[in-house]
């Protein structure tokens, strides 16, 4: 009879395989132990006995397994009849990889258990353990990066109960329930980015990344690579392995496009393709990547005026303008000022409180810098004040000459006050940046085109 024919006798082959498996494991293992239904040792090989400090295997017979092998789980196996195929057992020397199996008689009755200590296999498992450790480290790193890219704010942090604030939050919450693009419109410093974070945090994509990119803060020559990423060696100086763009980092999550009104026209057309076709190409690559991102855009400029001037694509505007949200300036929501002051002072970690006269003074200010300016003023006041209650003088000093107080020799209306403040801020920022307009725009948190437009309108730069 050929060997192939003998293998057809399944019961016999099974018995041979079982015997072979037992002999191989017993001979190659560091130790073997057999216990009865009461978890008393009935047999142990000499190697195992010596490992646990016994003079010989005979002295282990009849003892509870835990008395010889501390931490043994053989009693658990004879109790429930379930095998423990792979486990780690700590010993005084070094850990062992162990396997524990129940033993049944010919009638299937549980009569005991056998355990193998596969010490020699620990070394062969080393590559697997290293791979597992590496995967765990990679997972921890990925989770850490994701936490860094998750939303920082919620709707609770958009403080205010004025009608304008409530309408903005109502629309934003509605936007969180869909994947449609959201367009946040409003002056700089009004809290557009905070709302973008809050929309993501309340959406079905909250467990994915929130990634932001500011079109006004990145040089135009690098903006496309920042947005789409680069293929390996796409251009001189590019990373050899290529670089992931913000679109790829935001995959499955939300991409926040801040100051989108300053995005170059060429990039606007490519963004439109992403919105319509859900695909894009990294710079220097012929590979088309699929895109699953939710777009939230924000701008402080008049996009309709920019369209009329040819600086912003009409088709992109209509694609983004699915759910426009007007974020109100602070001067239109002064009822929120007390709550905003309280929240900002708490966020600054201070114990300061505003006296009524100081609060009234803030209510008369034009706030051209909006909530960002309010935070700056309050922070300056807490640093300069000598006592925890901020009074009229503390706030006057923090505001400086920018405040238009009642009874001033020259009465300015709201528009004139805003223009006066903006002109002063721009001139001082230009001086700090040695006249560098792009650098000044970045320091002020506005787009280059926005700054140029304001400089012309305010007479800082002649047209």
Reported as a single tens digit per residue, the pLDDT across 25-56 is 767 677 889 999 999 999 998 888 888 888 99
What CATH number does the domain containing 378 carry? 1.10.8.60
pLDDT at 405: 40
Q: Could you please report the per-residue DSSP string of 231-270? A: -TT-STT--TT-EE-HHHHTTTSEEEEETGGGS-HHHHHH
Over residues 15-29, mean pLDDT: 73
Over residues 304-332, mean pLDDT: 93
Reported as a single tens digit per residue, the pLDDT across 227-276 is 888 887 655 555 566 788 899 899 999 999 999 998 999 899 999 989 99
CA distance 451 to 453: 5
Asked if residue 144 is part of any domain, the answer here is no
Q: How confident is the model at residue 150 (pLDDT cuts 50, 70, 90)?
A: low
What CATH number does the domain containing 89 carry? 3.30.450.20
Asked if residue 449 is part of any domain, the answer here is yes
Residue 93 CB partners (closer than 8 Å, separation 6+): 51
pLDDT at 327: 95
Given 70, 104, 124, the domain boundary residue is 124
Reported as a single tens digit per residue, the pLDDT across 431-449 is 788 778 888 888 887 777 7
pLDDT: which is higher, 370 or 406 = 370
Q: Compute the CA torsion angle 347, 351, 357, 360 (nearest 10 deg).
A: 10
Alpha helices in 348-386 (DSSP H): 356-363, 370-384
Number of Cα atoms under 13 Å in the Cβ half of residue 347:
15
Is residue 136 scored above 50 in pLDDT? yes
Is residue 133 scored above 70 in pLDDT? no
Q: Is the domain of 306 the same as that of 214? A: yes
Given 102, 124, 146, the domain boundary residue is 124
Domain that holds residue 183: 155-328
CA distance 40 to 253: 58
pLDDT at 240: 60
CA distance 39 to 78: 7
pLDDT at 410: 41
What CATH number does the domain containing 447 carry? 1.10.10
pLDDT at 19: 76
pLDDT at 416: 65
Given 77, 104, 124, the domain boundary residue is 124
Q: Is the domain of 458 the same as that of 365? A: no
pLDDT at 413: 56
Q: Is the domain of 288 the same as that of 242? A: yes
Reported as a single tens digit per residue, the pLDDT across 81-103 is 999 988 888 777 777 888 899 99
pLDDT at 65: 92
Q: Is the domain of 379 the same as that of 435? A: no
Q: How confident is the model at residue 429 (pLDDT cuts 50, 70, 90)?
A: confident
Q: Is the domain of 303 the same as that of 398? A: no
SS3 at position 43: strand
CA 314 to chain centroid: 33
Which residue from 382, 428, 383, 384 is spatially nearest to 402, judged by alpha carbons? 428
Residue 219 CB partners (closer than 8 Å, separation 6+): 438
pLDDT at 324: 95
Q: Is the domain of 186 the same as that of 288? A: yes
Is residue 318 scored above 90 in pLDDT? yes
Reported as a single tens digit per residue, the pLDDT across 172-227 is 999 999 999 999 999 988 999 999 999 999 999 998 999 999 888 788 778 888 88
Reported as a single tens digit per residue, the pLDDT across 299-315 is 998 999 999 999 999 99
pLDDT at 94: 73
Sign of the torsion formed by the C-alpha atoms of 121, 123, 124 and 129: positive
Phi, psi of 54, rounded to the nearest 5 degrees: -90, 150
Mean of the per-residue pLDDT values for the chain? Answer: 83
Asked if residue 150 is part of any domain, the answer here is no
Q: Is the domain of 90 the same as that of 195? A: no
Number of Cα atoms under 13 Å in the Cβ half of residue 4:
0
Q: How confident is the model at residue 338 (pLDDT cuts 50, 70, 90)?
A: very high
Q: Is the domain of 62 the same as that of 116? A: yes
Which residue from 25, 24, 41, 23 is spatially nearest to 33, judged by alpha carbons? 41
pLDDT at 296: 96
Is residue 160 scored above 70 in pLDDT? yes
Q: Is the domain of 29 the same as that of 100? A: yes
pLDDT at 319: 93
Q: Is the domain of 173 the same as that of 188? A: yes
pLDDT at 162: 92
Asked if residue 131 is part of any domain, the answer here is no
What CATH number does the domain containing 188 carry? 3.40.50.300
pLDDT at 452: 79
pLDDT: which is higher, 113 or 71 = 113
CA distance 310 to 68: 86
Q: Is the domain of 404 the same as that of 432? A: no
Q: Is the domain of 288 the same as that of 377? A: no
Asked if residue 341 is part of any domain, the answer here is yes
Q: What's the domain count of the chain? A: 4
SS3 at position 342: helix
pLDDT at 409: 38
Asked if residue 222 is part of any domain, the answer here is yes
Is residue 427 scored above 60 in pLDDT? yes
pLDDT: which is higher, 1 or 378 = 378
Asked if residue 347 is part of any domain, the answer here is yes
Asked if residue 104 is part of any domain, the answer here is yes
């Amino acid at each position: 009879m050929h060997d192939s024919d003998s293998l057809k006798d399944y019961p016999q082959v099974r018995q041979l395989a079982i015997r072979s498996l037992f002999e191989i494991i017993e001979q190659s293992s560091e130790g073997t132990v057999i216990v009865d239904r009461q978890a008393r040792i009935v047999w142990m090989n000499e190697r195992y006995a010596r490992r646990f400090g016994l003079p010989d295997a005979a002295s282990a017979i009849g003892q509870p397994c835990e008395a010889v092998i501390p931490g043994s789980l053989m009693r658990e196996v004879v109790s429930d009849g379930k095998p423990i195929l792979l486990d780690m057992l700590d010993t005084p020397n070094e850990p062992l990889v162990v396997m524990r199996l129940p033993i049944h008689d010919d009638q299937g009755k549980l009569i005991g258990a056998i355990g193998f200590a596969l010490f020699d296999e620990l070394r062969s498992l080393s590559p697997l353990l290293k791979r597992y450790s590496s995967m765990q480290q990679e997972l921890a790193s990925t989770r850490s990066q994701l936490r860094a890219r998750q939303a920082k704010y919620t709707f609770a942090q958009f403080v205010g109960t004025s009608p304008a604030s409530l309408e903005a939050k109502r629309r934003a919450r509605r936007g969180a329930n869909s994947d449609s693009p959201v367009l946040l419109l409003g002056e700089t410093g009004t809290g557009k980015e905070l709302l973008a974070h809050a929309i993501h945090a309340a959406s079905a994509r909250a467990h994915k990344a929130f990634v932001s990119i500011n079109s006004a803060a990145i040089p135009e020559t690098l903006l496309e690579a920042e947005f789409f990423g680069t293929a390996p060696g796409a251009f001189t100086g590019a990373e050899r392995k290529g670089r992931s763009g913000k679109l790829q980092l935001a995959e499955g999550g939300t991409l926040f496009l801040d100051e989108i009104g300053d995005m170059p026209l060429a990039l606007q057309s490519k963004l439109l393709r992403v919105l319509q076709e859900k695909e894009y190409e990294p710079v220097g690559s012929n590979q088309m990547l699929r895109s699953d991102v939710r777009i939230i855009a924000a701008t402080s400029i008049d996009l309709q005026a920019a369209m009329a001037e040819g600086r912003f694509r009409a088709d992109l505007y209509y694609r983004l303008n699915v759910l426009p949200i007007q974020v109100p300036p602070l001067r239109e929501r002064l009822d929120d000022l007390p709550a905003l002051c309280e929240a900002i002072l708490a966020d600054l970690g201070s114990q300061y409180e505003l006296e009524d006269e100081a609060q009234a003074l803030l209510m008369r200010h034009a706030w051209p810098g909006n909530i960002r300016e309010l935070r700056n003023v309050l922070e300056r006041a807490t640093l300069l004040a000598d006592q925890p209650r901020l009074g009229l003088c503390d706030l006057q000093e923090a505001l400086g000459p920018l405040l238009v107080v009642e009874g001033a020799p020259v009465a300015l209306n709201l528009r004139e006050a805003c223009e006066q403040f903006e002109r002063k801020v721009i001139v001082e920022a230009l001086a700090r940046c040695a006249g560098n307009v792009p650098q000044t725009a970045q320091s002020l948190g506005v787009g280059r085109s926005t700054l140029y437009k304001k400089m012309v309108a305010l007479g800082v730069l002649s047209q």
